[in-house]
Amino acid sequence: MKIRDLTLYRVDIPLHVPYVTKLQPQGIKSIDTFVCEVHDEDGRTGVGDATILPGYTHETLDGGWKFCLEHGERLVGMDTEEAKKSLDPYRVSDAHAVSALQVAIEMMEGNALFDLPDEDVEVPILGAVNTKVLEEIPDEVNRLIEKGHRTLKVKVGWEPAADLNRLEIIQKANAGRADLRVDANQGFSREDGIKFATGLHPDGEIQLFEQPCQKEDWDSNAAVAAVSNVPVMMDESIYDINDVERAGEMDGCGFVKLKISKLTGVDLLKQGLDRIRELGMTPVLGNGAASDVGCYVESCVARHTIDNAGENNGYLKNREHLFKELLPFRNGSIVLSKNFCPELDHDTVNRLKIDEARFAPVQA
């Protein structure tokens, strides 16, 4: 199978509400996303995407887009296996950009991970408790649970005492109805991370404490994990299997989260998730800042590999969607249907696009 043509879109997708973390205290109001669409000689199509958030990775938006342009043009006319192999040297340095290209190719190839059964499959995803207004917390928690979410995520990483106080209010409102995941997004120093982690009162509700310290600072993350009252989950520090292996050696690390944009392909993502389990940890999957394209791709992998709530809920935060069909959501889950067609809505893409490039063989 050869790549007949390849089109790249850079789109700006607006969010319903700003995405606020310690790394982005002013809030992200839209996500700058790369989308790759490929076709073969028989008209088969594949779509991939990637969203680079500044501060979450060493990659940059302009660098990622430049990579897509340079390598997208080069891939046209190649056999798909040759094309994927040619991306191998860049899977850590330019993971997000590689992922957008490779996933599109894998979907076009008809990778078995995209095969869906005749009956609908529900892939559970978590809900996020976003409000910082303490009086609003009970209503937000109730709304999320009424939507069917059985796992909730809470962002922390600002100041340990205030974070613990807000978390306690969330726990009281939750009253054991859902598991809680607590995510610092690299926001704590070692000292504050230890203070927060040892102040947690899990009571069976708090499932994990995610990425306490800066992604490069493995020693500080390990120091927090060693004393935390709940297992730590590594996220931003993880880029490839070597990082998974390193997390497996960390006392107190019980979970590792992977994303398609880090592992750069659906087969590689499945291998990484399987390896986490082999090392005695629990794999978690999903990107909370992504388009419906990425959320669909991760759901297709999750149904084969994951037995807990996915974090690929990003598309529910977006005001615009890239597929022609809305990716169904029901009872706290993404619904995968055999009849769902992962086809781009080009009208929406064109309305949201910042840039575009199409590569096809030069006609004689």
Sheet holding 333-336, edge to edge: 121-124, 333-336, 329-330
pLDDT at 287: 94
In this prediction, what percent of the chain has a pLDDT beyond 70?
99
Ramachandran bin of 189, using left for φ above 0, alpha for ψ from -120 to 50, beta for the remaining angles: beta
Does any domain span residue 161? yes
Q: How many domains does the chain have?
A: 2
Residue 22: pLDDT band (50, 70, 90) is: confident
Decide: pTM greater than 0.75.
yes
- In terms of domains, do 250 and 222 share one? yes
- In terms of domains, do 295 and 314 share one? yes
- In terms of domains, do 146 and 277 share one? yes
* Contact by Cβ (8 Å): 272, 241: yes
The chain-wide mean pLDDT, for the chain, equals 96
**Burial per residue of 40-63, b for 16 or more beta-carbon CB atoms within 10 angstroms, e otherwise:** beeeeebbbbbbbbeebbebebee
- In terms of domains, do 92 and 193 share one? no
Calculate mean pLDDT across residues 105-132: 96
CATH number for position 49? 3.30.390.10
pLDDT at 26: 80
pLDDT at 364: 41
CATH number for position 200? 3.20.20.120
Does any domain span residue 116? no
Q: For the chain, where are the E strands, in sequence order?
A: 3-19, 28-40, 45-51, 121-124, 127-129, 151-155, 179-183, 206-210, 232-234, 253-258, 282-285, 329-330, 333-336, 353-359
Calculate mean pLDDT across residues 311-335: 97
- In terms of domains, do 84 and 10 share one? yes
DSSP state letter for 288: S
Residue 21: pLDDT band (50, 70, 90) is: confident
Give pLDDT tens digits for 285-304: 999 999 999 999 999 999 99
Is the pLDDT reported for residue 363 higher than 90? no
Is the pLDDT reported for residue 136 higher than 90? yes
- In terms of domains, do 130 and 262 share one? yes
Does any domain span residue 364? no
Is the pLDDT reported for residue 25 higher than 90? no
- In terms of domains, do 135 and 169 share one? yes
- In terms of domains, do 145 and 103 share one? no
- In terms of domains, do 349 and 311 share one? no
Is the pLDDT reported for residue 362 higher than 70? no
Closest C-alpha among 82, 83, 98, 170 to residue 134 = 170
Calculate mean pLDDT across residues 16-29: 83
Give pLDDT tens digits for 180-224: 999 999 999 999 999 999 999 877 899 999 999 999 999 999 999
In whole angstroms, give the CA distance from residue 204 to residue 230.
10
Does any domain span residue 140? yes
Does any domain span residue 20? yes
- Lookup: tokens for 335: 């619904």
- In terms of domains, do 106 and 129 share one? no
Calculate mean pLDDT across residues 49-74: 94
- In terms of domains, do 302 and 165 share one? yes
- In terms of domains, do 349 and 332 share one? no
Does any domain span residue 274? yes
pLDDT: which is higher, 24 or 281:
281
Q: Name the residue type at position 174.
A: N
Domain span at residue 352? 3-111+344-359
